[in-house]
Amino acid sequence: MSIEIREARAGDGAALHAMVRSLAESHGELAQFRASPADYEVALFGEHPLVGALLALADGVPAGCAIWHRSFSTFRGRETMYLEDLSVLEAYRRQGIARMLLKAVARLAVARGMASISWHLMAWNDGARALYEEAGADIEEGVCICRLHGAALERWCERDSLSGL
């Protein structure tokens, strides 16, 4: 099997969308998945894109992807890369494709002058952790991700408008 890693380009939105949707499904999170292929085309290939991606092709067929977005470190005062998704379709796992993708992400970050890449790891995910340790990443434990959205966001915006806080 021949593996090729390349940057995603206009028209790849549908393939990326299918892979992230498959990831959402395998995590039991399909209810939270609301993106369309067109959303990906706009975010990745519109003007001044915030988002970029790499595709892994196995004998020419999409087998995995890495999706990242621009980020910023207030300590460094520099733009950095945030790796949002690194995924390989079930049928193509255990062949080193995630490792190839992570290496390509690193090379892309350096080529773009970004001195740091960050991403999340679920503490229980030993398989992914082994790869990230091999890559030499610092792993900071004991973090929570907070998300404010939907009805809770609306309520928080509205509360206390007369109390002066």
Report 57-116 residues binding its own copies (CB under 8 A): 67, 69-79, 82, 84-85, 96, 99-100, 102-103, 106-107, 109-110, 115-116
Minimal distance, residue 91 CB to its own copies, in Å: 19
Using CB under 8 A, which residues numbered 110 to 149 contact its own copies?
A: 110, 115-124, 129, 132, 135-149
Instruction: Rule CB under 8 A: say whether 160 interacts with its own copies.
Output: yes
Quick check: 111 and 47 in contact, CB under 8 A? Answer: no
Of residues 7-46, those binding its own copies (CB under 8 A): 17, 20, 24, 29, 32-36, 39-40, 43
Nearer residue to its own copies within complex by CB, 61 or 148: 148
Helix (H, G, I), strand (E, B) or coil at 72: strand
CB 37 within 8 A of CB 43: no
- Is 101 within 8 Å of 56 (Cβ atoms)? yes
CB 64 within 8 A of CB 101: yes
CB of 104 closer than 8 Å to CB of 57: no
